Amino acid sequence: MAEKTAYSQAVNTGKYDKSSGLLGKYDNVRRCWEDATTALFLSPFLQGVTNRKTAAGQKLRVLDLGCGSADGYELLLSVPSPEENTITNGYVIEPGLLEQYVGLDINRDLLDMAEDIYGALPTHKFVEADLTHGLPPEITGEKSFDLYSTTYGTLSHFHDEQNAALIADIAKHAADGSIFVGDWLGRYSYEWQDLWGNPPDQEYFMDYRISYIYSEEERQDADIASFPLRLMTRQEILAVIDKAARQSGVTLEPLAFFDRSILIGRHMDTGDYNANCPKMRVKVNSLFEPHLRTDLSSLKIDHVPRAGYDKLNGFFDYFFASVNDAVACASLLFAGRKSAAEGMARAASENRSLAEAMQTMIATADALSAVNWVDARADFLEPLLGYCLRKLEMELQPGSGVGHGLVGIFQIRK
């Protein structure tokens, strides 16, 4: 399969190794933005499940579909408890709460990586499986799970009929109250504006290249494999969910939808599908990198709309303008112009998310003004700007398919 070739190729570059930084699969943005966004949206729903399990004297069972090198497990460990504040640093899945984590994937190279890291844990099991045929017998023969999770576009590998059958298998296998997390690629990400013109009433698969793990110089000469991935809107996902519910005779109740990686999607920097993309990911990675100052002028976005898409253009106009204003406020603070930054925050009062982000940066800069034993800008204020931009994305996104990822969270009712 083309997917297996592409992912094996990526693994063999060494850039799928679990490290963090400015480049690679596990860059700063992946850890500090994308994983964290999913964790924050999932938090209240996963907490509800774990509360019920704990009250019944039971532990949590998790099935990770398309687990790769156990990325889903690492994400789950970072889900913050909504019942704790940020100072106490509580997590939904505390040590000892997990009964079993089972990871499924078709790629043997990725499973070998997962086995190397977590295979010795008695709670963990990894199974090579082709999900195009639904849940494998190794799973349907086991007792139900409390969380059936996919991450980072796993379900975009399949046609809608295959997805409906797989989700129907999950619904039949699950116990009442279990959570299903479905993760697709968004149809209308700014990254692939060139592809917006495909008919919205037809299944559309883009030709996806894992070119983002290479530097710009390496991309010029790299022989990069590609494979098809389905682009989705919320309406298309709901149609798949409805078909799965009819096939299984089980209700799948939508709890939340969210767009992930609108600003910092993997292909913002490659320009593979939209030459007008601002190269935001590498710059936001720089914001999160310790001991490194970022040229904030490079974060300014010049939005280039596409004719005939007024609603989409309106969203991106508003969102990118909010990002530009947040960066401009930070630039004023870094230049020592606190009063001008405060004026911007007052002027942004109608955009609550933006005003709060600005006020947070102003208050933090003021508190750090006397700190002279670290580079306050590089190590505190620039990461804070990164988190403020993440806040804007989380609060302004419509959950409709305008980001790199489109995620739906559902509860299974029987």
Q: pLDDT digit string (tens) for 120-159? A: 999 999 999 999 999 999 999 899 999 999 999 999 999 9
Contact predicate 203/230, CB 8 Å: yes
What is the pLDDT at residue 218?
A: 83
Strand partners, 100: 61
pLDDT band at 1 (very low <50, low <70, confident <90, very high): low
Q: pLDDT digit string (tens) for 21-33? A: 777 788 999 999 9
- Three-class secondary structure of residue 91 per DSSP: strand
Quick one: 319 exposed, middle or buried, by C-beta within 10 A (0-12, 13-18, 19+)?
A: buried
**Domains of the chain by start residue, with CATH:** 2-262+400-413 (3.40.50.150), 280-396 (no CATH)
- For tokens 């494998």, the residue is 136
CB atoms under 10 Å from CB of 328, counted, come to 18
What is the pLDDT at residue 10?
A: 60
CA-based nearest residue to 47, from 16, 79, 17, 70: 79
What is the pLDDT at residue 89?
A: 61
What is the pLDDT at residue 25?
A: 80
What is the pLDDT at residue 154?
A: 96
CA-based nearest residue to 286, from 365, 394, 389, 378: 378
- Beta-strand relationship, 147-149 and 179-186: parallel
What is the pLDDT at residue 224?
A: 87
Strand partners, 229: 206
DSSP class of 11: H
Q: How far apart are CA 179 and CA 145, in angstroms?
A: 9
- Three-class secondary structure of residue 377 per DSSP: helix
DSSP class of 335: T
Q: pLDDT digit string (tens) for 359-375? A: 999 999 999 988 888 89
Provide the whole-model pTM.
0.92
- For tokens 């990526």, the residue is 10
Q: Report CA-CA distances (Å) from 68 to 74, 126, 133, 214, 263.
A: 11, 10, 18, 19, 24
What is the pLDDT at residue 229?
A: 98
Q: pLDDT digit string (tens) for 299-347? A: 999 999 999 999 999 999 999 999 999 999 999 999 999 999 999 999 9
Q: pLDDT digit string (tens) for 78-136? A: 999 987 665 656 899 987 899 999 999 999 999 999 999 999 999 999 999 999 999 99
Q: How far apart are CA 108 and CA 200, in angstroms?
A: 35
Q: pLDDT digit string (tens) for 41-72? A: 999 999 999 999 999 999 999 999 999 999 99
What is the pLDDT at residue 349?
A: 96
CA-based nearest residue to 114, from 66, 64, 69: 69
Contact predicate 135/50, CB 8 Å: no
Q: pLDDT digit string (tens) for 209-244? A: 988 878 788 888 888 889 999 999 999 999 999 999
